[in-house]
Amino acid sequence: MHASTPRPRVLFVCVENSNRSQMAEAFARLRGGGRVEAVSAGSRPSGQINPKAVRCMAELGYDLSGHASKSLADIEGAFDAVITMGCGDACPWVPAARREDWALPDPRALDDTGYRAVRDEIDARVQRLLETL
């Protein structure tokens, strides 16, 4: 990429912005190596990051404790891709050249094994996404 070319902007959306979209944002930052600008937000943000998400991401060397649960109303600018996490009609329309719904289960109530399985699926999908941006 040429130095004057802007980085692709990706928005990850779920309802509470406390689990799936936060992990997707983290993986995009972790795996993207600065080649992408990743943001996450929720249609009804919980105001906190799930401690289970913080713990499960720490297992992979990413500190999620510095993230904040954000509202879509606070997100500005255009995005190259908007990825919804399977929140169905609860996710409002955000314009983007590319849109995907990953239809991932909400891991909030899952045990650690189930939570890690969702985390690892998000990681794999983010890596595939980064290859195509």
Rounded Cα distance between 108 and 126, Å, is 20
CATH architecture of 9-132: 3-Layer(aba) Sandwich (3.40)
pLDDT of residue 2: 44
pLDDT of residue 89: 56
Domain ranges for the chain, please list them: 9-132
Rounded Cα distance between 117 and 30, Å, is 18
> Which entry of 91, 118, 129, 130 is annotated as an active-site residue?
91
The string of pLDDT tens digits covering residues 81-115 is 999 998 665 566 677 889 899 999 999 999 999 99
Identify whether the C-beta of residue 10 lies closer than 8 Å to the C-beta of residue 87: no
Residue 91: active-site member? yes
Collapsed DSSP state (helix, strand, coil) of residue 30: helix
Joined tokens for residue 127: 């890596």
Collapsed DSSP state (helix, strand, coil) of residue 127: helix
Residue 56: active-site member? no
Per the model's pLDDT, the better-predicted residue between 87 and 38 turns out to be: 38
> Which entry of 56, 87, 104, 129 is annotated as an active-site residue?
87
> Which entry of 10, 11, 14, 85 is annotated as an active-site residue?
14
pLDDT of residue 57: 97
